Amino acid sequence: MELLFLGTGAGIPSKQRNVSSLALIMPEYKGDTWLFDCGEATQHQILEHPVRLGKISRIFITHLHGDHIYGLPGVLGSRSFQGAETPLTVYGPKGLRSFIEVAMQTSCTYLRYPLAIHEVEEGDTLKEGPFTVTVGKLDHGIPCFGYRLQEEEQSGALDIEKLKAEGIPSGPHYQEIKQGKTVTLPDGRVINGQDYIHPPKPGRILAILGDTRPTPSAEVLAQHADVLVHESTYGAGQEELATAHHHSTCVQAATVAKNANAKALILTHISSRFMEEDHVQLLKDAQTVFTAVQIAHDGFRYQL
């Protein structure tokens, strides 16, 4: 499972960063891919990276500011033009349906695949694919949401080393052992398959938040997350600016990660006011609060 950052800039595109879009690519689930936000030129970014439009089954929009949705009509249309016929569901705040329908009708864009639009609300819990998705409202001046993805618990793997140590040869009975059944071996021994299975593996947790000022709901969404993706529009010492414009600083994002006991933090939505040489300081400032932090750039990949 991999997070691929297609756009990591704030507000408007720059030469270094496109506006917001993030892909979650899941090879373990037949390559299913989910997008989070879809800013202008997202489909151009997709052309440069290992993302297939036909594999995208869900798109989650955090809020309706242009730098998070202006690329959506193009992605929806191009997915159809490329021949995709599998269903696609788009999630986001109220008003998303109107935006999509007007764009499709005005441009006379026909979609050959079924498109569902789900306008989410605070506290929604959605069972989507391998995840339970919890929707939490953030603090951004207009309705803006964060998404907590809780993967289903994974069944324990077969303890091959223990089987070998006890002289149990491989064969069709391995499948029955993996299922926890009582199995009679070729040599007559009877074993309990449950004794040869590792404990279940907890599902992974991802918290992907939209633009926001510090708010308790962000910490709730990020509780014990394996990775938290949080905006960092401003730097340390710019708290007043961040508050005035409904955003966060790198230190505030790090504080959310620390208070939520997250395992890792990725900063994104970086203002164009920060040049590449400034990123080192942003990182250092965040690390004074939370050490396991990275700053995303366009094309940045993070494996879980």
Tokens 């998303």 — which residue? 96
Is 211 marked within a binding site? yes
Is 68 marked within a binding site? yes
Q: Is 67 known to be catalytic?
A: yes
Q: What is the largest CA-CA distance in the chain?
A: 75
Is 140 marked within a binding site? yes
Is 44 marked within a binding site? no
Name which of 127, 126, 90 is nearest 111 in CA terms.
Answer: 90
Spell out a b/e string for 229-256, using b for 16 or more CB atoms within 10 Å of the CB, else e.
Answer: bbbbbbbbebbeebbebbbbbbbbbbbb
Is 159 marked within a binding site? no
Write the secondary structure of the chain as one string of H (helix), E (strand) and C (coil): CEEEEEECECCCCCCCCCCCEEEEEEHHHCCEEEEEEECCCHHHHHHCCCCCHHHEEEEECCCCCHHHHCCHHHHHHHHHHCCCCCCEEEEECCCHHHHHHHHHHHCCCCCCCCEEEEECCCCCEEEECCEEEEEEECCCCCCCEEEEEEECCECCCECHHHHHHCCCCCCCHHHHHHCCCEEECCCCCEEEHHHHECCCECCCEEEEECCCCCCHHHHHHCCCCCEEEEECCECCCCHHHHHHCCCCEHHHHHHHHHHCCCCCEEEECECCCCCHHHHHHHHHHHHCCCCCEEECCCCCEEEC
Is 230 marked within a binding site? no
Is 118 marked within a binding site? no
**Considering 67, 187, 195, 278, which one is annotated as catalytic?**
67
Q: Which residue positions form the known binding site?
A: 63, 65, 67-68, 140, 211, 269
Q: Which residue positions form the known binding site for Zn(2+)?
A: 63, 65, 67-68, 140, 211, 269
Catalytic residues: 67
